[in-house]
Amino acid sequence: MSRIGKKEIIIPDSVNIKISEPRITAKGPRGELSCLIPDFIDVKHIDNKLKLKPVSSSEKKIQALHGLYRSLINNMIIGVSQGFEKKLVISGVGYRSYLENSRLILNLGYSHPVYIDPPKEISIKIENNTNISVNGIDKQLVGETAAKIRSMRPPEPYKGKGIRYVNENIKRKIGKAGK
């Protein structure tokens, strides 16, 4: 069996879990998320804990999916109770960002501004034109949106200009050798 799948999921008091046969739904102070559960994984709700168990643990695929679904359900519970956040930093002369309504506008050294319309479940905040914060309850959607923003101008290795995550280290290269 999966080591991650064996762990129990502790449910906070502010989160309600509803299990209807193929679907599990988590409802909390920040919103509601649901996930389809395959028939070869059995979910038990005991007190304030969820326990997942594969119906037959002989196949490798079932063992792998056991841990995956445990992580997906845990991320749902964390998302509806606390939420997720990714922070990005823009570095470069003249590079800046701002919000117009809910649309993110980036000036990244191109001849035109770059417009990004985030999904309705995602909120974007900007601090002093260079720090972008992407918030939401769905971990996958938050990461996907942050990656989309970063892909507009990934950091380059010589000067480090571009959009990077807050704790991301850029391997710097040495420029041309002088004569």
| Confidence at residue 1, expressed as pLDDT on a 0 to 100 scale | 54
Q: Is 173 among the domain residues?
A: no
| Confidence at residue 2, expressed as pLDDT on a 0 to 100 scale | 65
User: Any idea what DSSP says for residue 108?
Assistant: -
Furthest CA-CA distance within the chain:
73
Are residues 49 and 9 in contact, defined by beta-carbon separation less than 8 angstroms? yes
If one counts the domains in the chain, the total is 2
Within 10 Å of residue 150's Cβ, how many Cβ atoms? 19
Pair 7, 60 in one domain? yes
Question: Tokens 């119906």 appear where?
Answer: 55
Q: Is 31 among the domain residues?
A: yes
Q: Which of 30, 57, 81 is the last residue in one of the domains?
A: 81
Question: Tokens 């649901």 appear where?
Answer: 34
Pair 101, 147 in one domain? yes
Phi, psi of 107 (to 5 degrees): -105, 105
What is the CATH number for 40? 3.90.930.12
Q: Is 107 among the domain residues?
A: yes
| Confidence at residue 64, expressed as pLDDT on a 0 to 100 scale | 81
- Report d(CA 16, CA 162) in Å as an integer: 42
* Per-residue pLDDT of the chain in tens (179 residues, 90 and over written 9): 568 878 889 999 999 999 988 899 999 999 999 999 988 888 888 888 988 888 876 777 888 888 899 999 999 999 999 999 999 999 989 999 999 988 999 999 999 999 999 999 999 999 999 999 999 999 999 999 999 999 999 999 998 899 999 998 889 898 888 77
Residues ≥6 apart with Cβ < 8 Å to 5: 52, 54, 63, 66, 67, 69, 70
| Confidence at residue 65, expressed as pLDDT on a 0 to 100 scale | 86
- Report d(CA 105, CA 99) in Å as an integer: 6
pTM of the model: 0.87
Q: Is 23 among the domain residues?
A: yes
Structural domain for 142, as ranges: 84-165
| Confidence at residue 21, expressed as pLDDT on a 0 to 100 scale | 80
Segment 22-25 long-range contacts (CB within 8 Å, at least 24 positions apart): 24/73, 24/76
Pair 136, 111 in one domain? yes
| Confidence at residue 175, expressed as pLDDT on a 0 to 100 scale | 84
